[in-house]
Structure 1
Amino acid sequence: MSKCLSQFWRTTQFVKGYYPSFSRLSSNYGENQMLRHSNTIKFVQHQRAWFMKKSEDAMSVPSTPSTPTSPAPEPYEIRAIKETDQEPVISFLRKFFFKDEPLNVAVKLIEFKDSTCVELEEFSIKSIKDGISLMAITNSGNIIGVCLNGKIDQNEPEEEEEECPNPKFSKILKLLAYAGKEGSKIIAEKYPDVEKIMFAKILSVDGAWRGKGIAKELMDRTRHIGREQGYGLMRVDCTSYFSARAIARLGFECVYELKYADYKENGQAVFVPEHPHNALTIYVQRISCTSP
């Protein structure tokens, strides 16, 4: 009996930490037990809901690739993005991606609701010409998700970094180039047999369609295209804590991490993103037919 009471006392101290009013409740053991159980469940549910919402809002992958939790409100299809789709894709990214990406937020790249960054938009869609990017589009013609993919050939020299006239976006490009090169070195050492890599640059889903499996379907289709075209790996560079968690849940392996606090110029961290975004991470997954 004393052991049970001791356990109950420790539990009440835990619950008091989240629910201060608990100490003012009736001292009746049965009532307190029921309330403790109810409050603990509510707390866990609240934390889970918060995490899932953040997972869906966060870059490089702002939406969570997950199992559908609700049916799609109308039929849609996954199809390749054509060069003629560039304008509607940019409009989609302005609404659901650019304003939430942690590095964009950290440097205030998109300061106002109607602000745009031409350099960011050009950078985001330049891989469309490769013909391996995908969109989810409804029967009524609304884009509800995009997966912008590029390709990396390990045997070809990396493109030289171009000068960017936008000082804020230039900082982001320098970080991406630095981390990208470091990650590529590790990948080349770890996977010497792989020549072609499918690079998922941006994955974003309409806020009203999240939780319906759109992101996962886009990633699955990307993987399928990669296998068909002889790519050995899929690669995702994540600047967001939540996107990294989402990609890890799909079975990707983290091969490189750069803490933002360690990326400095003149002794000062260049980026101080909002918590919990503290690192740029690079994930890969083997997709060749010889993989398990």
Structure 2
Amino acid sequence: MASKTPDNVIIRVMRKEDYKNVRALFKEDFLASEPLCQLSGIASQWQNEEKGGNDDNNLSVIAQGTCLVALDEDDGGRLVGFVLAEAQFPEDIEKHRIEAETSRQNGFGRIRVILFKVEREANIFERFGISKVLYSKVTCVDASMRGKGIGSRLAAALMDVGRSKGFPAMLAHCTSFFSARQKQALGMQCIYSLAYADYKDDQGRPIFTPAEPNTMLRVMAIKL
């Protein structure tokens, strides 16, 4: 599967050999700009994380054939965007509960906890009456290429991948206003939302306080 856009950006299925560049863009761009990662200082934590766990997990996701890259043919095939996506099943909810409860009390851990909360409460498997879903985990577009619709093209292409692989639905956790708006424009619906102001610690203080307009985390979904 590969498609070319008028500006010579090719979107195709991610390969294992793409991961070095994907990892670099994830670290340099996504971790520095995604609202919760930005607040939590994830970029520096990522620098200090031991290699292995995250990389092994991402490589296993790539092996599913559900991840995509966007390459700029006018710039020697430079990676300008990607989406990491994977199959999820009802039994994964329990696995995510354990991961959330055993997470270290750092930025990664706090994000894992809130994502588990919204996953559990959105309850897409019962809500849609399905036994598997294509979960769009991370969408990243190089800062120099934003505003060209690459993120939307990646999401639309991912829907096509989901249909071709027999997924009945696609799901995304949108931590920013802009990612939710993009998904909504493609026909995805908000099935659950959590205002950051309402998500508090034991002392009643909001755990995440992103700047406007990023005021809530939305779970977006679409039947394929």
Sort the TM-score into its range (normalised by shorter chain): 0.7 to 0.9
**Residues 36-85 of structure 1: CA deviation (Å, up to 9, x unaligned):** xxxxxxxxxxxxxxxxxxxxxxxxxxxxxxxx9xx52xx34222112332
2:23 pairs with 1:85? no
**What secondary structure is seen at the aligned counterpart in 1 of 2:26?**
helix
Asked if structure 2 preserves the Cα contact closer than 8 Å seen for 1:133 and 1:147, the reply is yes
Question: Unaligned regions of 5+ residues in structure 1, if any?
Answer: 1-67, 288-292
Q: Which amino acid aligns with 2:134?
A: M
Asked if structure 1 preserves the Cα contact closer than 8 Å seen for 2:88 and 2:133, the reply is yes
Match of 2:136 among 200, 207, 211: 200
Higher RCO, 1 or 2 (CA under 8 Å, sep at least 6)? 1
* Counterpart in the other structure of 2:47: 116
* Counterpart in the other structure of 2:69: 135
Distance 1:156 1:106 in 2: 27
Distance 1:107 1:208, change over 3 A: closer
TM-score, normalised by the number of residues in structure 1: 0.65
Asked if structure 1 preserves the Cα contact closer than 8 Å seen for 2:200 and 2:207, the reply is yes
Give 1:150-189 correspondences, 5 Å limit: 150-154=86-90, 158-160=94-96, 161-162=98-99, 163-165=102-104, 167-183=106-122, 185=123, 187-189=124-126
Q: Which amino acid aligns with 1:284?
A: A
Q: Which amino acid aligns with 1:150?
A: E
Distance 1:175 1:119, change over 3 A: farther
Give the structure with higher Rg (CA): 1
* Counterpart in the other structure of 1:7: none
Tell me which protein shows more strand as a share of its residues: 2
After TM superposition, the runs of 4+ consecutive aligned structure 1 residues lying more than 4 A away are: none
2:209 pairs with 1:278? no
Report deviation, 1:111: 5.4
Aligned length: 211
Report deviation, 1:214: 2.1
Distance 1:170 1:204 in 2: 21
RMSD of aligned C-alpha atoms? 2.6
Question: Unaligned regions of 5+ residues in structure 2, if any?
Answer: none
Distance 1:118 1:229 in 2: 34
Distance 2:181 2:50 in 1: 28
Distance 1:180 1:190 in 2: 12
Report deviation, 1:105: 1.8
Q: Which amino acid aligns with 1:191?
A: F
Report deviation, 1:237: 0.5
Asked if structure 2 preserves the Cα contact closer than 8 Å seen for 1:96 and 1:206, the reply is yes
Asked if structure 1 preserves the Cα contact closer than 8 Å seen for 2:155 and 2:183, the reply is no
Distance 2:175 2:157 in 1: 23
Distance 2:153 2:110 in 1: 33
Distance 1:155 1:89, change over 3 A: same
Asked if structure 2 preserves the Cα contact closer than 8 Å seen for 1:106 and 1:274, the reply is no
**Residues 67-124 of structure 1: CA deviation (Å, up to 9, x unaligned):** x9xx52xx34222112332221011112221101111122233359xx7353799278
Distance 1:128 1:118 in 2: 21
Give 1:6-155 correspondences, 5 Å limit: 72=7, 75-110=8-43, 116=47, 118=49, 122=54, 125=58, 127-139=61-73, 140-154=76-90
Distance 1:116 1:143, change over 3 A: same
Distance 1:136 1:109 in 2: 24
Distance 1:154 1:169, change over 3 A: closer
Identity among equivalent pairs (%): 29
**What secondary structure is seen at the aligned counterpart in 2 of 1:269?**
coil
